[in-house]
Amino acid sequence: MTTTTLQLHNGLPALFLDGQVLPPIAAYVGPAHTATFHQAGIQLYTFNVPGTWWLEPGQYNFQPIDEWILAYLATLPDGYFMPRIDLSRQGHPWWGKLHPGEMNLLLDLQSGQVRDQLAEHPHTAYYLGHGVDLSHTNLHSFHSLVWRQEAGQASAALVAHCEQQPYAERIWAWHLCDGLFQEWFHWNEYAFDGLADYSPAAQQDFRRWLRQAYHSDPDELAHAWGRPMTFEAAQIPTPQERLRLSHGEFYDPIQDRPTIDYTQCFSDAVVDSIIAILGAVKQTLPQPKVTCAFYGYQFMNMPRMQLNGHYALERLLASPAIDLIASPHAYSNRGEGGYHSPQTPADSIRRAGKLHFDEIDCKTVWTPASVTWKRHISQPHTVAGTVEMMKKDAAYQLASGTAQWWMDLTDQGWFDAPEAVEPIRRLRQIEQRLMEQERHSFGQVALVCSQRALMFQAPREGLHDMTLMTFRNWHLSRMGAPFEQLLVSDLARPDLPDYRLYILANLFYLSQEERRLIERTLRRSHATALWIYAPGFLSDDSASLENMQALTGLRFGMAEKCAEQNVTITDFSHPITQGLNLSEYGSGVEREQYLQPPKIQYLPETRVGPSFYVDDPQARVLGLSQVTGQPGLALAEREGWRSIYSSAPLLPWPLLRNIARYAGVHLYSEIGDMVWANNAFLALYSQSDGRRRVRFPQPVDLEDAYSGTRLGQGIESLDLEMKRWETRLFLLGSPGGEKGFLGGNQ
């Protein structure tokens, strides 16, 4: 019987099939377009299994599923299949008629009356480029215990049936999906006139959640909410209460605690649903096989991402019900010329012992012109451009020690071409060689994020976008050094290295425990910290400048002004600012760059408030806030570490490069190329024509990974002539290593 498991292999979570480790490279492709991948040596496949099979309570029709899977497997002489099972359309409409109190309920923002969830908002197309059709969807509440139980039973019945069929030998995993776009998003992201979920199931779950969060102690609940309260009387805050913001972009930790709590409950409910359903599948499997779900989209670009239910990743990582966590890479500044990095903090997933699958769904030269999906993405028009883009897209997975599937999103042959075979084969071979190595060093920079902090922010995207997604894809990507993307809780991991630069991007809320953890980490590693906008402004019981000072070592002031957060650089004599060919930066500076291909999907409103500044005579001031006229870029020495603060987000890559150099970070390239790297691999994606020098942190034996050409031994630097949007991939070996050159033949 076929078994699949996750096990450590050379220090990384790896996929084992029948006891043999496999390159974690798959293809999401319809049955008519598998040939390219088969010829390239791909063994793992996945695709959405169509059809409605859950007919009524306890009644199923699996025959169409059997027939479809058999037909698909007939196209794979020696491949394995992961069925993608979409639960969002199962049980429609009969399940809701049987369980009306378990269905999602949307209320109008102004009137508080029930809104029609099927009515499409006119602004949806602006954000998506297309509409949202929920008409054939089972709009169950994610809070529903009944749904979790019955959907789990139905999923288990399907899997049990399929695992008894002869084709079960060819199934390598099960991918369970639900929610909007099959990605476990809440249903009402684009219902801009309403908020959910106000169903009886949601109200009951919220009270259960409160009892757990506050240890069934009504006094603890009342203290947190700042008013007399019991669990029986607690209500989901009204839509208008959830839109009330006490501190500009932020909720007040006490006055607005009901909203903060329910937003967290929202995400926990989605994770509870995933665990319940995947757990039921795990229990019914006759032999071990891995399970998969989409989740944890920290770097998404959606208009109200806090309401999507994706911010309880740590709880999912702790569950044995799931092995593989998937996400597409971010949809801004991607495609030809753009960056590649996933929407999840995949390094956190890897370090938790799970395997992240990166969904590579970029359009190629073979994607038909009739495809209207996300027209903003820069699509290559030549085979050569497509190959360079594919090399770049694969580079992230090769460097991060994660997994990938190539995705023919519309099932129209996006990779179905003879010219695609050799690139896919070569990229798979590179992964095979890297799997022989210990990929243990993933950079000297940590981008540290918080999911919990998003619960304290307004349900809108400007601040989130500036401090995470756009900041990463446009600017951090070109710093010249690789970086890990971690959750703040990862800083407690005993196996985490001491980074030289910690970029603390969105830590606007921090618990007392998190504050102590960050200080211990920075002091232990003698590192440099880069803080952005409002670090630590919010705690569990206050919103204050004193919170920020205690965290950063800098004294602050604040102005009640909502504006673009920009900084004018005033001191060019410090190593951080020396040689910069720019005088200002921030959310309102050079906005046109985000609208040029490869561009942002849409440019959100980025004026935020309040406006913060440094009010500290001991700080070294490098720039002034354009909002307040006070210091907006400053730094100070702390006990054993250095603290840099920027009131403006979107620090441009030349400034980030200088900050990294100041922190002692090794820079592979200094001219704005995109870099992905570990101790055994380096990828460079050029952003300009011309010559550049690549420097290595220590002498290496060097091979062009894509062509197989040996480039030399003991190399400290390499001069390259590259065209714009060209990708170079290198294998790095230790000179004189016992295994020879990267474990290969001499």
CA–CA separation, 497 vs 503, rounded Å?
Answer: 15
Q: What is the pLDDT of residue 746?
A: 28
Mean pLDDT of 515-543: 97
pLDDT band at 745 (very low <50, low <70, confident <90, very high): very low
Task: Quote the tokens at residue 254.
Answer: 């006490």
What pLDDT score was predicted for residue 393?
Answer: 98
Q: How confident is the model at residue 739 (pLDDT cuts 50, 70, 90)?
A: very low
CA angle 255, 259, 265 (to 5 degrees): 135
Whether omega before 610 lies within 30 degrees of 0, making that bond cis, reads yes
Q: CB-based contacts of 680: which residues, under 8 Å, 6+ apart?
A: 434, 437, 438, 439, 731, 732, 733, 742
pLDDT at 741: 42
Q: What value does the mean pLDDT take over residues 243-254?
A: 96
Instruction: Give the integer Cα–Cα distance in Å for 161 and 352.
Output: 32
N-term to C-term CA, the chain: 39
Mean pLDDT within 384-411: 98
On the question of pLDDT at 663 being above 50, the answer is yes
Within 8 A by CB and 6+ apart from 525, the residues are: 498, 499, 500, 641
Q: Is the pLDDT of residue 742 over 50?
A: no
Q: Assess whether the previous peptide bond of 64 is cis (omega < 30° from 0).
A: no
Residue 568 CB coordination number (10 Å) = 17
Q: What is the mean pLDDT of residues 350-365?
A: 97
Task: Determine the pLDDT at residue 737.
Answer: 58
**pLDDT at residue 164, as a whole number:** 97
Domains and CATH numbers, the chain: 4-434 (3.20.20.80), 445-662 (3.40.50.880), 688-743 (no CATH)
Q: Per-residue pLDDT for 744 more than 50?
A: no
**pTM of the model as a whole:** 0.96
Residue type, 570: T
Spatial contact of 163 and 74, defined as CB atoms under 8 Å apart: no
CA 428 to chain centre: 23
| Whole-number average pLDDT of the chain | 96
Comparing CA positions, the residue from 621, 658, 654, 624 lying closest to residue 636 is 621
CA dist 547 and 331 (Å) reads 35
For residue 531, pLDDT over 90 is answered with yes
What is the reported pLDDT for 679?
97
> Are the CB atoms for 356 and 344 separated by under 8 Å?
yes
Higher-confidence residue: 376 or 23? 23
In Å, how far from its chain's centre is CA 275?
19
Q: What are phi and psi of 246, to 5 degrees?
A: -90, -20
d(CA 613, CA 533): 9
Query: Do the bridges between strand 290-294 and strand 324-328 make them parallel or antiparallel, or are there none, so unpaired?
Result: parallel
Tell me the pLDDT tens digit for each residue of 81-102: 999 999 999 999 999 999 999 9
Kindly indicate the confidence band of residue 740, based on its pLDDT and cuts at 50, 70 and 90. Answer: very low
Q: Return phi, psi of residue 501, to 5°.
A: -130, 125
Interval 556-567 mean pLDDT: 98
342-370: average pLDDT: 97
CA distances from 734 to 136, 397, 694, 698, 739 (A): 57, 22, 17, 9, 10
Give 569-593 pLDDT, tens digit per residue.
Answer: 999 999 999 999 999 999 999 999 9
> How confident is the model over 370-389, as a mean pLDDT?
93
pLDDT class for 736, splitting at 50, 70, 90? low
Q: Are 551 and 453 in contact (CB under 8 A)?
A: no
